[in-house]
Chains A and B, each alone.
Chain A
Amino acid sequence: MGLLSDPNRRRALISMLTRLNAPICVVCYFAGVAWFMGLAFEPFTLRTYMSENAMGSTMVEERFPAGERALATGREFAAHKKKVGGMPVDWLVKNMQDRGLEVFTQSFSRTLPFPDENKERYIVKGTNVYGILRAPRAPRTEALVLSAPCSPGDSNNQAVGLLLGLAQYFRNQIYWAKDIIFLVNEHDLIGMQAWLEGYHHTNTTGMSWSPLQGRGGSIQAALSLELSSDVITSLDLVLEGLNGQLPNLDLANLFYAFCQKIGVLCTIQGKLQRNDWDSVSGYSHTVQTMMLMVMKQASGRPWGDHGLFLRYHIEAATIKGVNSFRQYKTDATTIGRLLEGMYRKLNNLLERLHQSYFFYLMPSLSHFVSIGYYMPAFGLLAVILLLRALDLWVQLNTPPSTTEDGVADIDQQSSPGVLSVLTPLVISHLTGVALYALPIRFQETAVEHFPVSETEAVVLTAIAIYTAGLALPHNTHRLLSGEGTEQGWRVLKLVAVLYLAVLLGCTALINFSLGFILALTLVPLAAFVTPHVPKVLSAFILVILSPACTLLFSVFFFQELQEMPVSFQDGWLLYLSVISQGILDHSLYGSLVYPLIALLVYPCWLLFWNILFWK
């Protein structure tokens, strides 16, 4: 910092930075992207390792024998489910009681803000059933959760069967030190949300539920099981939770270790691990895996029933059974043994899982990228904004050409300057508030006046408001008295660039993927936009790089990554449903991506739009 204390050297440094600003920015951008792509290259990543000693060094034996019986229970459950036409509560209660558990039920109801067309539900009423296996000589202070959703149709019956089978087997074991809660939740995430809110007696989303009667103390870890076939080829691990939160890496390590031990094929993001990292196809495979994780994390929605646990600082993951056309099959007994092993190790925990990483990306199940490795990629992008801000600051500070009465000039210019910055700032944020609040409020009016369903009404209103925001510069100019000056847009851009830097920095700290994806599109836009660039071309680029279009591209890209490419027509429909899901996630589970985009990112983008049309 002696560099800055010395005025001469400071001047030299600043002049170099301003002179070489554009090339440095370009280099930084490409370096950031290259760094990010390099993260998937195996020699650059670390192998996963078990950090928690309580789970690492102890040996457990897996002896679960009753896979066939569990499947039979699953079939019985399916029959009862069909008969009742929903959750067979009485049957489940009786079955859990017979297995020696303390059984409780919780009923809940929730009216969605608008109908969910993907899952075809609007007014949701349901019942959760859970049984607590009390650990002998334990004072009810710690618990583990095993949950299986009661899904409509024929799916997940095997999961419930296996859950009941494990409950019966666990009940006869003596080594439990923590209570184990076996939960069957109806209406997947809504039921899970109701149960978790009931357990912790919070109400964040305005759901109505009946209070829980039995508890097991503070929950240490949870697994959610999804299993829809009698035999499986592989198990898939789902980690991404609400708002991009991830469970402690040790939970993933534990799953991987037991898959290795028992000999079950395991995948993450549905991708098997490959050994040929040095070949191009091997590398692109790991990139795909990592990009899928980035996309899922950036979406901020829970990708399994486990996702809601993370808010309560409970480490949780979903394990999905996948049955594909592969030869090698795994039966229910083996899955039961795997779960038994995992629970025995979790039972050995002395402390909460905290030793390993909470912020990571996984290019494969055996390798991970920690926060220390991926943050520089974002840092390189964010530094562009700071460089641009410095450049603008220097430009603002260089005295104007008229040297004698420069002081008077600046005074004259700065007083409309404050207003010229404040007006677009306020107006664009008001547009953001409208985008956030109006779609749900105006759905009834929209349905009355247009031939659309409620869901379509909400989504189309959102898009309409978003588009209407593009007319903002005219409105702003009408409000402004004088003409925008050269100084004016510089000040506005300085504010906008710093605003964006803070916004992206904070987002990336909480949800790296979201921050990085937004930075990829917004940073170049923020760097180049001025009133003097060609208007039509720049406007086109600006729209292309806006958050809504980023989302559209992400939808196509995600489908591409999942090897399920869609036509533009389907992609557009998918895009509309993604928007409605985002709004629903916010009101049902408290996902923060929609308010973040509507209230902060979109107004910030509008500022740059405003600068482009500066008069």
Chain B
Amino acid sequence: MTPYGSSPLAGSTHDALTRKSTTASRKMAAHRCSCWSWLFILFSLSVFVVADIHETTPVNDHQGGVDHNAQTAEQTADLPAVEGRRWEATEVKEAGVDAAADAQGTSAPETVVPSSVPQPKDDFQEELVIRPLHSGDIYASFQFRTLWDTDFMRENKVSHYRLFPKSLGQVISKFSVRELHISFTQGYWRTMQWGQPFIPSPPGAELWVWFQDSVTDVDATWKELTNVLSGIFCASLNFIDSTNTVQPSASFKPLGIGNVTDHSFLRYATLPREIVCTENLTPWKKLLPCGSKAGLAVLLKSEKLFHSSFHSQAVHIRSVCQDWQCKTTSWELRQTVNSVFDLHNSGQAKREWSLFKMFSRTLTEACPLASSSKLYIDITDNPEGEQFELSPATSLLSQAVVLGDRRTFSVYDLTQETTFGSVRSLNLLIRWKSNEGEMLRPLLHAERYVAGYGLQTGEIHTLMYNNHPYRSFPVLLLDSVPWYLRLYIHTLSVTSKGKDNKPSYIHYEPSKDRVKPHLLEMLIQLPPNSVTEVTVQFERALLKWTEYPPDPNHGFYVGSSVISSLVPSTVAMDTNSTRERPLFSSFFPCKEESSYFVRIYTEPLLVNLPTPDFSMPYNVICLTCTVVAVGYGSLYNLLTRSFQIEEPNPGLAKRIANVIRKMRGVPPL
């Protein structure tokens, strides 16, 4: 955690600017919000008529939301086959690399509907998704999205910033960034217990950037960029250098628009050892238009946020289509925080959870600058309210296919006064009724470990589980291993079900000592219901003594391997279930739902290298010198020289006598 202080771009100007604009535009925003919400209701009603989904859940409305429910009941009374809940269309979560751009254009209601109203140049949305997990933990995912219709590249000097943070805008224009993804994660996402996260990230820091084609020296730009980002986020990103940077050829495609295939403009690096803490969260919060003063961001208090089982914060910048035709593009900044709270720790005896208990804050208002501010609670596993009880109840429901699974959410719209009830604050409460925590069987999960013992060699095992009962699917495995583990690539073996499984694509770049890491990318077909094991042996290098870190006996980290895949959807799996869908819609699985994009990260590895005993350099030096000088030196001397007894030295008198005799021409004595 060595913050890199002197970044030229990490100014705080945008903060002041934001504060000013906050007050100035509050009125306007409020007006726009009401207008927007009206449109929303219209839209959602129309969707409701189309969707016509059977719904038998009784509504639990005993707290807070009485008047709200009454109002909805009035609204929906004249519609046929209505029980009392409203349905709202929600955009499909980005289902994959390819689907990302489409999803923006097709299913977001905001971009379709407001063609009649004057469109703001920039737009801010915030949302919080809370999902009670199988294990009994709570998953909270914040997303803040800022859209700005500008072009950093063309105008070259964008000087007026409103919602978009200036520090990041300057980074984009200065370094010609096409796309930037950075995440800081503390902890490992437990796929077996928690399922898939909305936005996956590996432990430590991860950074991947696509540069524009115009960049000539990508490496130099990358180096400079990491140093600047290190300053902006107070993280040790400046430790990213050529020894931990790779250029993946297939695993990381741009998520925004643009069909770039030349991966020489891509750089990917991870710092698995990076520790994430308050000092990284504070600059992250400063990027938000409302800071942590209003809206959902008030919940982001570090003393509670870093009390969780898992914490991940990320910033994603990309360009997206502005409208249906995609004639112009706009920049999207997505800031996310994902955390998982452990119920065992916080609530001891009573299994209940509330916003206040989790964040030590309640919600009182939406961010005034936000065009939409929503709170979603995942109630898919709880349709009858038998697992947990939610209060205050809401009648607004929404359905979305998230990660191949149809989920139902209760929606709380923070832009509406009624959400906060009479006490002017929203404190969601979940009370568990049943107590179960079993292992999930996610369709795809992976683990990795180092096998063997001793400090000379070892073997990296990567296990990938395909738990789909009848479908096989391909995965892309990306492994970036530091040079000090010398991979024996000839020992690489991929086996599934006891048979050799030949990868259809292998991209391997060997390492260069002290310069660049190994890069191994493989496309592997995972047979249904199987475990695929990738093993490769390595040798541990002996480093030079100055290359060891201050704590060499801790071990050396090897970053997570990345597994990217299009996983067959569980929605498509139950072709038998016509319960929720009309028959005509369910014969062919539709394209968006048939498979979904998943990226999972394995555990990082901690590998011990042979380490000299640094605690006694003096002794070592003394011993070595003694052994060399006395032992070896004299032995060598004895072995190589021959010894002869030489005549004793003649005395001085004799020598003088000899000189005289020589002068006289007489033979010496």
Contacts and interface: CB of A to CB of B under 8 A. Distances in A.
A210 to B, nearest CB: 12
Interface in B528-555: 551-555
A376 to B, nearest CB: 16
B338 interface: no
B604 interface: yes
Interface string A189-205: 00000000000111000
Contacts of A83: none
B195 interface: no
B437 A5 contact: no
B186 A200 contact: no
A201 B461 contact: yes
A97 B437 contact: yes
Interface in A1-53: 1, 4-8
Most chain B CB within a 10 A radius of its CB, from A139, A171, A172? A139
Contacts of B186: 137
Interface stretch (B41-49, B238-246, B302-310, B582-590): B302-310
Interface string B322-346: 0000000000000000000010110
A141 interface: yes
A5 B634 contact: yes
A137 B554 contact: no
Nearest to B135: A100
Contacts of B192: 102
B309 A218 contact: no
B191 to A, nearest CB: 12
Most chain B CB within a 10 A radius of its CB, from A6, A312, A354, A355? A354
Contacts of A217: 449, 603, 605-606
A174 B447 CA distance: 25
B451 A137 contact: no
Nearest to A142: B606
Interface string B409-436: 0000000000000000000000000000
B451 A200 contact: yes
A134 interface: yes
A352 B608 contact: yes
A218 B452 CA distance: 11
A75 interface: no
A615 interface: no
Contact of A352 (B451, B555, B604, B638): B555
A350 B643 contact: no
Given A134-B190, A136-B187, A351 B551 contact: yes
B345 A202 contact: no
Nearest to B633: A1
A241 to B, nearest CB: 14
A215 interface: yes
B260 interface: no
Nearest to A100: B344
B453 A4 contact: no
B450 A137 contact: no
Contacts of B452: 200-202
Contacts of A138: 187-188
A200 to B, nearest CB: 6
B562 to A, nearest CB: 15
A7 B193 contact: no
Contacts of A172: 344-345, 348
Given A102-B192, A352-B554, A218 B450 contact: yes
A218 B460 CA distance: 13
Contacts of A200: 451-453
Contacts of B643: 5-7
Contact of B637 (A1, A136, A139, A351): A1
Nearest to B311: A137
Given A172-B344, A218-B606, A313-B608, A136 B309 contact: yes
A311 B453 CA distance: 8
Contacts of B190: 102, 134
Interface in B434-458: 437, 439, 447, 449-455
A140 interface: yes
Interface residues of B, number: 53
B231 interface: no
Contact of B309 (A134, A350, A354): A134
A217 B606 CA distance: 7
Given A137-B310, A218-B555, A355 B615 contact: yes
A242 to B, nearest CB: 12
Contacts of A6: 643
A202 B605 CA distance: 17
B193 A102 contact: yes
A215 B449 contact: yes
Contacts of A142: 606
Interface in B389-408: none
Contact of B453 (A202, A350, A352): A202
B309 A215 contact: no
Interface in A126-146: 134, 136-142
B451 A350 contact: no
Interface in A212-226: 214-215, 217-218
A374 to B, nearest CB: 18
A139 B638 contact: no
Interface string B181-199: 0000011101011000000
Contacts of B553: 351-352, 354
A601 to B, nearest CB: 25
Most chain B CB within a 10 A radius of its CB, from A4, A100, A141, A214? A141
Interface string A478-517: 0000000000000000000000000000000000000000
Contacts of B606: 141-142, 217-218
Interface in B569-612: 603-608, 611
A362 B646 CA distance: 56
B197 to A, nearest CB: 15
B203 A139 contact: yes
Interface of B: 186-188, 190, 192-193, 203-204, 272, 306-311, 342, 344-345, 348, 437, 439, 447, 449-455, 459, 461, 551-555, 557, 603-608, 611, 615, 630, 633-634, 637-638, 641, 643, 645
Given A174-B307, A218-B555, 7 more contacts: A5-B638, A136-B308, A136-B310, A139-B188, A141-B555, A218-B607, A355-B615
Interchain residue pairs A-B with the least CB separation, the first 9: A1-B634, A139-B203, A201-B451, A351-B553, A137-B187, A141-B606, A137-B186, A140-B603, A351-B554
18 contacts: A5-B634, A5-B643, A7-B645, A102-B192, A102-B439, A136-B187, A137-B186, A137-B187, A141-B604, A172-B344, A201-B461, A202-B452, A215-B447, A218-B450, A218-B555, A218-B608, A350-B554, A352-B553
